[in-house]
Amino acid sequence: MPLSLINSSHHIVLIAHTNPDADSLGSACAFYSYLIRFQKKVTLFCVSKEINPNLGFLPWFEKLTDRFPDDADCMISFDCGSYGRLGIEKEIPLINIDHHVSNDFYGTLNIINTDAISTTEVVYDFFVTNDIKINGKMALSLYAGLLDDSRCFSDPECSLKTFDLAHALIKSGADHSRCVEWLYQRRSLASIRVRSVLLKEMKLLADGRLAVFEVPLSLLEETGAIISECKKVLDEALGIRSVHASIIFFEHPLGGLKVSLRSNGTLDASRIMGLFGGGGHVKRAGTRLKQKNYSELVENIMSVITKEFV
């Protein structure tokens, strides 16, 4: 049972996935608030060195570290659809809390609900089931993930439960306008600059149904933008009437590439990224390929995707 593993552990590491979003980090922050009630050590961990500054309002954000502690005896991953998304490999018990359809139950214990709109919903259910009181900090953290993964409650998968959950979290102290301001209204100059370059260079293929973006290393260097700031153009492109899917390729400093795919639902993004060792959701998925040749990898992936539009 997850609770008995948590209770018997002395140092628990809460893991947000590489390049964390509000859902992953929000889930981990909510759990941090819960675990510091006990006499145990807790570490908030993410392997990425650059964290999206828009997440800076999350409680405990300043506690986040990229150093994995030596004396940890338990770890919990949040919103990591595959083991690779943790960014580390450790031989200690792992509780895997997630909602991705592609999750392959890599944990020692797995709390997976693929019907949940966000991992924060899974965490909320865990708290309620175990009679764990949700304070204001936890509510704000959970709400941030709910808001972001539901695309501000615009996703067709939003259900009555989504709105009930929003209601419950706001009642417990989550501040809706603060979440909106931090997640969507605050932008860096770099993100505006990179957006204009990417939209200008956007390619439309397959009779305008597929939007393609490429981010060479030089673009990140010149603009100072980070990966999460570039990815915003994917949703913008999906808003074009003809577009069914949008894809962005990032040249990786360590070789190979990182790719993110968005779909309006007519194409299964998780299945396609699964062909390249990745995964995610039907509408949002991605992968990281480490083989050296960037252009060859782009070509491989593009040849598979364009066939989907024949």
Q: Among the residues of the chain, which ranges form H helices?
A: 2-8, 22-35, 119-129, 136-149, 160-171, 176-180, 189-201, 217-223, 227-230, 232-238, 269-274, 294-307
Q: Which stretch binds Mn ion (CB under 5 A): 23-31, 106-114, 168-176, 251-259?
A: 23-31
Nearer to Mn ion, 9 or 120 (CB): 120
Q: Is residue 251 a contact point for Mn ion (CB under 5 A)?
A: no
Nearer to Mn ion, 44 or 206 (CB): 44
Q: Please count the residues of this chain forming the interface with Mn ion, following the rule CB under 5 A.
A: 4
Distance of closest approach, residue 81 Cβ to Mn ion, in angstroms: 8
Distance of closest approach, residue 116 Cβ to Mn ion, in angstroms: 9
Residue by residue, what is the 3-state secondary structure of 126-153? HHHHCCCCCCHHHHHHHHHHHHHHCCCC
Distance of closest approach, residue 149 Cβ to Mn ion, in angstroms: 5
Q: Is residue 121 a contact point for Mn ion (CB under 5 A)?
A: no
Distance of closest approach, residue 79 Cβ to Mn ion, in angstroms: 4
Residue 9 · residue 216 · CB < 8 Å: no
Distance CA 177, CA 106 (A): 36
Q: Is residue 149 a contact point for Mn ion (CB under 5 A)?
A: yes
Residue 96 · residue 72 · CB < 8 Å: no
Distance of closest approach, residue 30 Cβ to Mn ion, in angstroms: 13
**Which of 12, 23, 150, 182 touches Mn ion (CB under 5 A)?**
23
Q: Is residue 79 a contact point for Mn ion (CB under 5 A)?
A: yes
Q: Among the residues of 9-135, which ranges form H helices?
A: 22-35, 119-129
**Cα dihedral sign, 291-294-298-299:** negative
* Per-residue mark of binding to Mn ion, 40-69 (x: CB under 5 A): ------------------------------
Q: Which stretch binds Mn ion (CB under 5 A): 148-156, 180-188, 189-197, 268-276?
A: 148-156
Q: Is residue 98 a contact point for Mn ion (CB under 5 A)?
A: no
12 burial type by CB count under 10 A (0-12 exposed, 13-18 middle, 19+ buried): buried
Residues that bind Mn ion in the complex, under the rule CB under 5 A:
23, 79, 119, 149
